[in-house]
Amino acid sequence: MLEKLLSREETRPDYIALDLKTAPARYRQLLPAVKSALDPGGLLWQSAALIRQSGIAHEYRSLALPGAFITEKDIEALAPLTDSSPWFFRPFKGGNCLDPAWNDMEEPAAEARARAETLAKIARDLGKNGIAR
């Protein structure tokens, strides 16, 4: 779908934001009910490549989820998908999640901000443009 959108002038966006939830190999954890032959992690790699090659201004976004759901190893696995465009890390805020189990996983604001900054620093240490929001 993304390839089709990018290939047609009338549907080509002027800006793209790609959400990076966790390491590509762990995407199946986020979609356990999906029983298709599609590999969500592989699709993420393809989408990131299309965006990087498109010439369209873009950013990457990751949520600093509570606990250790997204780890340093996840950031290391996601880093090759990104380029020099901004990679924003935002604290998680529950309350409007598709999976209601996540709504109660909110942590104190100071801890959430610290987690976002830690993940952004890991990205910066990997040579990426990691920014905590």
| CATH number of the domain where residue 60 is located | 3.20.20.70
Domains in the chain: how many in total? Answer: 1
Better pLDDT: 84 or 67: 84
Burial class (CB in 10 A: 0-12, 13-18, 19+), 120: buried
Is the pLDDT at 32 greater than 80? The verdict is: no
Specify whether the backbone of 10 is left (phi greater than 0), alpha (psi in -120 to 50) or beta. Answer: alpha
Look up the domain containing 40 and give its range: 2-132
Q: Would you state the pLDDT for residue 105?
A: 82
**Hunting for tokens 């995407």 — which residue is that?**
27
Sorted by sequence, the CB contacts under 8 Å of residue 55 that are 6+ apart come out as none
Predicted TM-score (pTM) of this structure:
0.88
